Amino acid sequence: MKKSELIREYIKLYKPTHKQLQTFCKYCLSFKESATLDFRAKYCNKMSEKHSHKRLGTSGYYSNNIETWLFNRVVQKKGKRYCLTPRAIRKGWSLYSYPLEVQVERLKVIQQNSHKNWVEHSNTRMELRRAKEIINDLGIFLDNFETLTRHYDRIKTKYDIEI
């Protein structure tokens, strides 16, 4: 069996704690291929009861994978124990599957958040447009003012007029 299949069956049958699950994930392939899941599970459970994370070398081991399983709703946590979700059992999802239902829910959340951000920032965008229009108007005004002052200076020097 593949490692992911062994872990899935282990979670399904034994509902392990976090420490037991990490220990099983680390040592499940250390046995001969003829070893049964029951033997592997009992051995890993005894090891996790007797030894600390430091001694087992499992501190943080497989934590990202476990969080991914929880995030993808393949595994759920009941109290301190992990178990497969009913949908995962019924539909036969692997631990690393990314179910379509979860994808759709996440896309809906992203869409809602983006709409909310659009509404919040639309006022800012309108103010920015107004500010750009004002800057353009000021630029035109300054250009006109500069041409008027040049004309005034020419007239003043040409006709020696003091104002």
Residues 14 and 47 in one domain: yes
User: Residue 163 — pLDDT band, cuts 50, 70, 90?
Assistant: low
> Which domain does 32 fall in, by range?
3-97
pLDDT for 37:
92
pLDDT for 160:
76
Query: At residue 148, does pLDDT exceed 90?
Result: no
If one compares 63 and 1, the residue with the highest pLDDT of the two is 63
| Percent over 90 (pLDDT), the chain | 37
pLDDT, tens digit, 9 for 90 and up, residues 35-86 = 999 999 999 999 999 998 888 888 888 889 999 999 999 999 999 999 999 9
pLDDT for 77:
95
| Average pLDDT for the chain | 86
How far is 42 from 58, CA to CA, in rounded Å?
17
Query: At residue 17, does pLDDT exceed 70?
Result: yes
pLDDT for 119:
66
Residues 70 and 114 in one domain: no
Kindly report whether the global pTM for this prediction surpasses the value 0.75.
no
Query: At residue 125, does pLDDT exceed 80?
Result: no
Residues 136 and 75 in one domain: no
Of the residues 55, 71, 97, the one at which a domain ends:
97
Of the residues 51, 66, 97, the one at which a domain ends:
97
Of 69, 62, 32, residue with least CA distance to 48 = 62
Give the CA angle between residues 1, 66, 52 to the nearest 5°. 95
Of the residues 97, 121, 137, the one at which a domain ends:
97
Residues 81 and 117 in one domain: no
Number of structural domains found in the chain: 2
pLDDT for 5:
92
72's tokens: 């993808």
Residues 10 and 70 in one domain: yes
